[in-house]
Chains A and B, each alone.
Chain A
Amino acid sequence: MGETEFTLLDGAMGTMLQAAGLPAGTLPETWNITRPEEVTAVHRRYVEAGSRVLYANTFGVNRLKTAGCGYSVEELVAAGIRAARAADRGEGVRVALDVGPLGQLLEPLGSLRFEEAYDIFKELVLAGEAAGADLVVFETMSDLYEMKAAVLAAKENSRLPIWSTMTFEQSGRTFLGTTVPSMALTLTGLGVDALGFNCSLGPAELLPLAEELRRWTDLPLILKPNAGLPDPATGAYALQAEDFARQLVRGAELGVTVLGGCCGTGPDYIRALGRELAGRKPGERPAPDRRGLCSASRTVPLDGRVRVVGERINPTGKKRFQQALRERDMDYILQRGVEQQDAGADILDVNVGLPGLDEPALMRETVKALQAVVDLPLQIDSSNPAAIEAGLRAVNGRAVVNSVNGDRETLEAVLPLCKKYGAAVVGLCLDKNGVPRTAEERLAIARRILAAAEAYGIPREDVLIDCLTLTVSAQQEQAAETLKALRTVSGELGLHTVLGVSNISFGLPAREQITVSFLTQALAAGMDLPIVNPNQAAVMDAVAAFRVLSGQDPNSAAYIERFAAAPAGEPKPRTGEPMSLETAVAKGLGAEARALTEQALESMEELEVVNRLLIPALDRVGERYERQEIFLPQLMSAASAACEGFEAVKARMARRGAGTVSKGKILLATVKGDIHDIGKNIVRVVLENYGYTVLDLGRDVPAEEIVRTAIQEDVKLVGLSALMTTTVPSMEETIKALRASGHACKVLVGGAVLTPEYARQIGADFYAKDAKQSADIARQVLG
């Protein structure tokens, strides 16, 4: 191809090996060892066709997939790199360690832990670098989280350049929902060397995605498409080499510089591509014009428009939240997350700092759990660098760190983490001397933070400044200073600004008036990231109104929808229409159940409310269920409503430091090998309603973990679920392990394929046909 600014990759490997006689069902990578000359011959054909980067025949090597094939990961990788290297006869070919998906889904959809995925990739990268690979390519990924584990493993354990390509559908998403902007923001942030797309689509279908991609990154772009779309009946690809090349050249016009072929392509395709590219220059690439934060499936652009940061995941001053953290009550925290997303938050602040708790571990756990149920970008809020790093590592997407300040120590501790994980950062306008009194002094600190961030290679768009709200009842003149500082930081420095506003009204009556008024003024001064409680309707109303007045809500569409959708008075309890707590529970009316419980708590003790009102209400619903007057979803709606009532009780007890009401601990788990857990989750809700403390170990739980927890927590009742016939043996093993441990406890089993006879056979003490029966059994065992 001669002198060129393009890098020509190779085409498909697997089909070429099959054509060379690789039998169906044989791992292609074993040929690296048994028939290396065949593998080299395929590589050589690509070199002769013009390829200058060869992907070694290592795509499917990893300890999950190739265990039991007779060769170790090191052997397969070393032989694969060697076979590719042997195809270079002085052309100066680079050899890439080629790494595909692990074949097991990561949490939360699957059960492979992020940390384990990292470990598997680490083993591969170490083997590849030792074998002399020139770079590592992670390709065909559809899970951004898996890609992140791979990239971190390569970054932290080798010096190999990293290329990342993911597999998209025409919808612009991967199978797991990752979007082009999410991929670009996350991987650019993590510092890969080039990124793009491979497989799944043909060149024509990938072009619009490449066009989108270049708006979000300035890294070199890669396109390695299939030979068109496969025939559904045969899986065969129809696009011919010349057409493939002509279509793909349009990618080069968009500025893509690394090009090759995936499924269905062969040496002819690469040769044709080389001919088409000869004499061409890559198209001009405009500077990327998009920035933002993201989860794997949702992007929040930072473009000056108002983005609401939800502040409710934070224990400061909240007794009930503190209690939840101490008890590792993840459900409570997740409810705060989902509630805020439903209320219109764009970003969630996550703060789990509480003295005496392991903040890094708690941060990791909370971030992972939140990501399973909300798709908002996260703001990792901590003053502990270890907790910040734990959070940034666990995040799937691109986060923001809250916070650094003008103090050199925090800048030096936190900014390198932001750089490493590609996070944006909030800078507070304060330092060792506290909050400066004047806007000018705050501006000076903002400049200092910006300079430090830029020195670490963090671009200025990613530095978000907090000019700090002080309490107006204590320091009245400071409200104006904050607004003045805001105007300068956003106007003169051109930085995004964040501001927690609720502090402003502390100590005053009718706080909401002050808070909302200050919020509106701050927004008008250019603040684009308010940190607020999105559950406060007045606050979100003010944001909605501001979006209309500032032209951010075209045709006032969102505003109209917001107010058209909410008929006056709902969902607050209707007054004048007396309803008993029992009726509220029976009808599944959560807000009513909560309000009526609060009312009852005014004249009754907590335990009395639980035992005389809530539990009897649930019992009544349970009886109707048993008489088949209602069925399971209705029972569960009632249970969810009763939960709201219990929440009111817990909140009150937490406020007066009264500890907890618990009738005893129950451990629940879906056994190893099984991933169907909705049934177990239903049982959990019902048991919690009856006042039991449930330790929910999740799904696919190994027997050892169940035994260990049962002993450590001295649990007297263990509930196991399994949905599939194939996982019942795993249940039996778990029961055996519990018995063998000598720990005295009763075992309750349930699940679609179980019967009372079967339950006895595998050594269980009880069989429950449904959630209601589980509660009856719990009462029998624990009282």
Chain B
Amino acid sequence: MEPRLTGINRREALIYLGYRGGALEGVEEELERCEELVLKTARPRAVWRRFALLPDGSLEGADFRPEGEDVQALLAESREAVLLAATLGAEIEALVRRTQVRDMGRAMLLDACASAAIENVCDNLCADLAAELAPLHLTDRFSPGYGDLPLSCQADFFRLLDIPRRIGVSLSPGGLMLPQKSVTALLGLADRPQPRRSGDCAVCGRFEDCSLRKEGIRCGRN
């Protein structure tokens, strides 16, 4: 199962840029060029692994229990969990950095397109996983830093998936991933179809201060 980058959701990219409606004079063409460039430059990679879930909510043989009520609620009906990590690679990062030197506006568009692109890679990966793991059902994906799942458990993802060696992503001392356009996530695997919670702002770690939510906009990402 190869990671696939199949497209960039323009609405999503615009929301990342703080777009709230209004004229897009000249921006759409530029956005189109940036989308093409991101699709061409990205080298998506992914790694994933299945674990049985023990009754206490920890992953078998992993020395890891995802902490927090949100994630345990997500896994309530699951008997297995899938850990995954995906990245667009270092090239996109270099492209955005380089573009900043001459045209900051364009760099922002590229950055937003890349953010939407890594989500696309994750969406595709989850769809492919769902097909492969049927008849079991996947929950939504849940990342460190969402809700009350602490960012510190990034280290467990890195250890269990061997992320640096497998897909070339490293973890900074502060717990941040490099290249930046990278995602780690956890999903449950259950016998019954699982409720979709995407777009449910209540489980989002930024519920309190999200400026989108205050304006009645949903980013669509938890």
Contact = CB atoms under 8 A, between A and B. Distances in A.
Q: How large is the interface on A (under 10, 10 to 19, 20 to 34, 35 or more residues)?
A: 35 or more
A753 B90 contact: no
A174 B43 CA distance: 12
A330 to B, nearest CB: 10
A110 B119 CA distance: 23
Interface in B95-117: 96-98, 100-109, 111
Interface in B177-222: 178-180, 205-206, 209, 211
B20 interface: yes
Q: Interface of chain A, helix or strand or loop or mixed?
A: loop
Nearest to A672: B174
A758 B209 contact: yes
A24 B105 contact: no
B23 interface: yes
B63 interface: yes
Contact of A673 (B164, B168, B174, B211): B174
A580 interface: no
A633 B206 contact: no
A634 B105 contact: yes
B108 A630 contact: no
B17 interface: yes
A632 B105 CA distance: 8
B102 to A, nearest CB: 6
B26 A587 contact: yes
Nearest to A769: B211
A109 B91 CA distance: 10
A633 B96 CA distance: 14
Contacts of B30: 633
Contacts of A174: 168
Contact of B20 (A628, A672, A724): A628
Nearest to B96: A678
B77 interface: no
Interface in A651-683: 672-676, 678, 681-682
B101 A338 contact: yes
Interface string B28-55: 0010000000000001001111100000
A373 B98 contact: yes
B111 A678 contact: yes
A373 B23 CA distance: 32
Contact of A25 (B26, B63, B173, B211): B63
Interface in B54-87: 61-63
Interface string A136-178: 0000101000000000000000000000000100010011110
B27 interface: yes
A637 B159 contact: no
B49 to A, nearest CB: 6
B151 interface: yes
Name the residue in B25, B63, B176, B206 with the highest tally of chain A Cβ atoms < 10 Å from its Cβ: B176
A725 B1 contact: no
A230 B161 CA distance: 12
Contacts of B151: 724-726
Contacts of A233: 48-50
B165 A167 contact: yes
Interface in A376-407: none
A674 B47 contact: no
B26 A588 contact: yes
Interface residues of B, number: 62
A636 B46 CA distance: 33
Contact of A109 (B18, B20, B50, B93): B93
Given A25-B63, A633-B109, A675 B176 contact: yes
Interface stretch (A99-107, A245-253, A493-501, A505-513): A99-107
Name the residue in A109, A140, A334, A770 with the highest tally of chain B Cβ atoms < 10 Å from its Cβ: A109
Contact of B22 (A142, A175, A374, A629): A629
B175 interface: yes
A637 B24 CA distance: 13
A636 B108 contact: yes
A706 B129 CA distance: 47
B49 A234 contact: yes
Contact of A637 (B46, B97, B103): B103
A758 B206 CA distance: 13
A725 B152 CA distance: 12
A108 B96 CA distance: 13
Contacts of B172: 104-105, 110-111, 673, 675, 700
B19 A631 contact: yes
Contacts, number: 167
B101 A678 contact: no
A588 B105 contact: yes
Nearest to B43: A171
Contacts of B111: 678
A451 B168 CA distance: 45
Contacts of A177: 90-91, 94
A725 B174 CA distance: 11
B173 A176 contact: no
A373 B90 contact: no
B205 A725 contact: yes
Given A630-B22, A725-B205, A235 B162 contact: yes
A727 interface: yes
A674 B173 CA distance: 9
B203 to A, nearest CB: 16
A373 B174 contact: no
A105 B169 CA distance: 9
Interface string A754-783: 110010000000000110000000000000
A632 B176 contact: no
A634 B97 CA distance: 19
Interface string A711-741: 0000000000000111100100000000000
Given A632-B17, A637-B106, A674 B174 contact: yes
A365 to B, nearest CB: 16
Contacts of A638: 105
A755 B210 CA distance: 9
B170 interface: yes
B105 A726 contact: no
Nearest to A23: B63
B90 A639 contact: no
Contacts of A633: 17, 27, 30, 105-106, 108-109
Contacts of A678: 96, 100, 107-108, 111
Given A635-B105, A637-B105, A675-B180, A105 B170 contact: yes
Interface string B119-155: 0000000000000000000000000010000010000
Nearest to A631: B19
Contacts of B43: 171
Contact of B90 (A176, A335, A724): A176
A374 B98 CA distance: 7
Contacts of A588: 26, 105
A179 to B, nearest CB: 13
A339 interface: yes
A125 B146 CA distance: 42
Name the residue in A103, A104, A629, A631 with the highest tally of chain B Cβ atoms < 10 Å from its Cβ: A631
A676 B178 CA distance: 10
B102 A338 contact: yes
Interface in A103-137: 103-105, 108-111
Interface string A174-211: 11110000000000000000000001100000000000
Contacts of B94: 109, 177, 372-373, 375
Interface of B: 1, 17-23, 25-27, 30, 43, 46-50, 61-63, 89-91, 93-94, 96-98, 100-109, 111, 145, 151, 159, 162, 164-168, 170, 172-176, 178-180, 205-206, 209, 211
Given A235-B47, A373-B98, A730-B174, 8 more contacts: A199-B165, A628-B20, A632-B105, A636-B105, A672-B174, A700-B174, A726-B174, A727-B174
9 contacts: A24-B63, A105-B172, A235-B166, A631-B19, A632-B105, A633-B108, A637-B103, A637-B105, A676-B180
Which 4 pairs between the two chains have the least Cβ-Cβ distance? A175-B168, A637-B105, A673-B174, A636-B105
